[in-house]
Chains A and B, each alone.
Chain A
Amino acid sequence: MCISGCGVVSAIGVGRRETLLSLKEGRRGLAPARYLPTTHKDLPLGEVKRSNAQLKALLGIPESRVVSRTSFLAMLAVREAMQEAGELGVYRPAFISGTTVGGMDISEQMAPEERHPEQWDCGASSQAVADYFGCFSQVITPSTACSSAANALLLGARLIKAGRCDVVVAGGSECLSLFHLNGFRSLMIVDAEPCRPFDVTRAGLNLGEGAAYVVLESEAHALARGAKPQAYLDGWGNACDAYHQTASSPEGEGAFLAMTEALRRAGLKPADIGYINAHGTGTPNNDESESHALQRLFGAQLPPVSSTKGLTGHTTSASGSIEAVFCILALQNGFLPGNAGFSTPFEGGIVPIRESIPAPDVQHVLCNAFGFGGNDTSLLISKAL
């Protein structure tokens, strides 16, 4: 499955160029809230460093129009992905956009009696993006918590493989909201300090926001229209951990099954994988469970691993596609991003790479995204030659 374009927006950059620099230099985008009207003034958050007014200006949307920040972030990333892929309008692509927060940023600011969340639901936030571009034949919104965007890529690849679509723009978007910041805090898994994935002192995640999309099509289709493959989505797997709504099983069963399925679909062995972008949220539970799943699959031959959530925060539903685009940038530019915040491993935990390292020979990488509900997805991305 050919990836012919990608676009990304997160706390470490608007667009591929800024993002690439931040990834290489390990620049962290975590800071106290500047745009989210939270009373938790000191919590580090991975906000996209643009106000809604600035995002509207970037997109040429009139100041007076009410649009969810989830849609703004998506529009920027979709625009960048489609520009890279070349003219797509005539192919009537499908738009598959994962989100869970949707337009909650708008409904939560309304007085309770005027609150109509159904007008700002997940599907509405995707539809607003489709309306902005006007070229999509259909809009699908998978909503599987933090694996939503990864599942959008998985679904897009399948629709193309089954001959139901020629071109799919797939990814996800999520803005910060009080609704889920307070919810994650109520679950006691938000760290008041910058997060430290896989570190012995890790004490939770920092929430972030962003969006990323890729353009998917068969290689034959890409070449026929003169598009250049940027990378390949060679494998994908989804499995249910079937353990707990908001916690992972100790042995990481769902993660193990998802990665195994992604490898099987790509026809590759664990030894072929040169890097894993871990889900690595920085919660004690996730990082322990994911470590065990990785050790089960790779044994003593574990390739370099890092979680980039110490840079961006956990961008929840968008994390799967944001990190998939990080993997594409890494493959294209011959480096691996580092695991900001890590210094000392915990007992039985994996040792990630701390800082970005050159890696010109890596051909295949895995990118993990796990969601509440035990919804675990792994994507296998390969370098374009």
Chain B
Amino acid sequence: MKQVSIPSGANLTALYRELAGDYPKFFKMDTLSKLGFLLTEMLVGEEADRFRPREDRAVLVFSREGCVANDRHYQDSMADFPSPGLFVYTLPNIVSGEIAIRNKYAGETSAYVLEEYDQKLVDALVCQAFQDPVTTSAIVIWADCPRDDAWEALGWLVKKEDLG
């Protein structure tokens, strides 16, 4: 199982230029989505055939505080005029959507808000995602960024054969 991480406070723009560079929509994303996007680039960037549309890959996102950092930015914008660009990212599952759009994954996507990182629960939910006959692999993200400059960001590429 491939595992990647992004250190808290790392320069995400530099990382984007190193890993991708061809997806300007990245700059519109909130920090949570940027983390999910970059973790996925690290996980599948080298895959042969990576942009081939596929239904057999699920995207599961786990977080403690979801998109609360962006929620605050959007809420601040309401004092003047509510910003549609910020509102879009007030959903924690937009991360899984961004990953699916970038990589053309039409498989199952989900986002869970957990009180604390809970390995047993994450394992159980990842196993459930493989219960259909379609799913053969899953991008699993733990991303939590209560602030824009401090976070936890871990990603895994789980394959059916890893489940044992």
A contact set with B: CB distance below 8 Å: 100, 104, 108, 112, 115, 117-118, 121-123, 127, 138, 140-145, 151, 155, 158-159, 161-162, 164, 178-180, 182-188, 238-246, 253-254, 257, 261, 265, 371-375
Contacts and interface: CB of A to CB of B under 8 A. Distances in A.
B155 to A, nearest CB: 17
Contacts of B151: none
Contacts of B128: 155, 158-159, 162
Nearest to A161: B131
Nearest to B96: A373
B96 A240 contact: yes
B136 interface: no
A126 to B, nearest CB: 9
Nearest to A123: B113
A246 B97 CA distance: 10
Contacts of B97: 240, 242, 245, 372-375
Given A122-B66, A143-B112, A371-B93, A183 B87 contact: yes
B87 A242 contact: no
B114 interface: yes
Interface string B81-93: 1111001101111
B78 interface: yes
Interface string B46-89: 00000001010001000001101001101110100111100110
B159 interface: no
Interface in B107-126: 107-115, 121, 124-125
A188 B85 CA distance: 12
A186 B106 CA distance: 28
A242 B84 contact: no
Contacts of B74: 179, 183
Nearest to A99: B113
B101 interface: yes
Interface of B is mostly: mixed
25 contacts: A117-B72, A121-B68, A143-B111, A143-B112, A145-B91, A155-B125, A155-B128, A158-B128, A158-B131, A182-B87, A183-B74, A183-B82, A188-B84, A239-B106, A239-B108, A240-B96, A240-B105, A242-B53, A242-B103, A242-B105, A242-B106, A372-B88, A372-B91, A372-B93, A374-B109
B83 A186 contact: yes
Contacts of B96: 144, 240, 373, 375
A-B residue pairs, 3 tightest by C-beta: A373-B97, A183-B87, A186-B84
B132 A374 contact: no
Given A162-B128, A183-B90, A374-B109, 20 more contacts: A104-B71, A112-B76, A121-B65, A122-B113, A144-B93, A144-B111, A183-B84, A183-B87, A184-B87, A186-B82, A186-B83, A238-B110, A239-B107, A240-B97, A240-B106, A242-B100, A242-B105, A373-B91, A375-B93, A375-B97
A127 B115 CA distance: 10
Interface of B: 53, 55, 59, 65-66, 68, 71-72, 74-76, 78, 81-84, 87-88, 90-98, 100-101, 103-115, 121, 124-125, 127-128, 131-132, 134, 146
A257 B55 contact: yes
B109 to A, nearest CB: 4
B100 A372 contact: no
A240 B109 contact: yes
Contacts of A123: 113-115
B68 A117 contact: yes
Contact of B112 (A100, A142, A187, A243): A142
A243 B59 CA distance: 15
Contacts of B76: 112
Given A108-B75, A238-B110, A242-B105, A143 B91 contact: yes
A241 B76 CA distance: 31
B112 A141 contact: yes
B117 to A, nearest CB: 13
Question: Which of A104, A145, A253 gathers the greatest number of chain B CB atoms within 10 Å?
Answer: A145
Contact of B106 (A127, A182, A253): A253
B88 to A, nearest CB: 5
A118 B68 contact: yes
B129 to A, nearest CB: 9
B112 A121 contact: no
A265 B134 CA distance: 11
Contacts of A246: 88
